[in-house]
């Protein structure tokens, strides 16, 4: 049978557990970034120009959806500003293969795919190889999971 002391201790601990629990359930950022850079500083527009991952410059950066995006030149920055949804990677730049499996993973600029004029990034080249085994199916599964997997 609980004593007055155990009931009091439980009542005092409840607010602490609620506070700690809410931290554990914090939502992940909509856009994956490292060191305050989306796509690790790669120019998202360059992928669509056939150049693959090209490093962007601080002189041509802009903030969009809480992340800093870098571009190789001013023309690419302006193109992104006009239509960011076209150039930004799907699933917020998180690993597309991981999103298809229901979790989040970081990405590297070198593990990329353009499919139906959309950019998909993966955690590494192995994840990209798995992603490429069923691109359409993985996209459908990722869309079912997104954005719920952000938390």
104-132: average pLDDT: 98
Per domain, the residue ranges of the chain are: 30-87, 89-151
If you count them, how many residues does the chain have? 151
Q: How much is the pLDDT for 36? A: 87
pLDDT in tens, 38-87: 999 999 999 999 989 999 999 999 999 999 999 999 999 999 999 999 99
The lowest-confidence range among 2-6, 13-17, 63-67 is: 13-17
Angle at 56 between CA 44 and CA 118, to 5 degrees: 5
Characterize 86-113 residue by residue with b for buried, 16 or more Cβ atoms within 10 angstroms of its Cβ, and e for exposed. ebbbbbbbbbbbbbbeeebbbbbbebbb
């Amino acid at each position: 049978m609980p004593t007055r002391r155990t009931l009091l201790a439980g009542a005092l601990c409840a607010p602490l557990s609620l506070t700690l629990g809410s931290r554990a359930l914090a939502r992940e950022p909509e856009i994956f970034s490292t060191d305050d850079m989306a796509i690790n500083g790669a120019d998202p527009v360059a992928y669509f120009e056939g150049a693959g991952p090209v490093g962007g410059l601080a002189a041509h950066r802009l903030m969009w959806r809480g992340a800093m995006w870098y571009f190789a030149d001013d023309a690419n920055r302006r193109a992104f500003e006009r239509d960011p949804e076209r150039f930004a990677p799907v699933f917020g730049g998180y690993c597309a293969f991981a999103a298809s499996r229901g979790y989040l993973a970081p990405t590297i600029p070198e593990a990329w795919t353009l499919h139906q004029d959309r950019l998909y990034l993966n955690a590494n080249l192995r994840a990209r190889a798995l992603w490429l085994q069923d691109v359409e199916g993985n996209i459908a599964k990722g869309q079912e999971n997104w954005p719920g997997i952000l938390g």
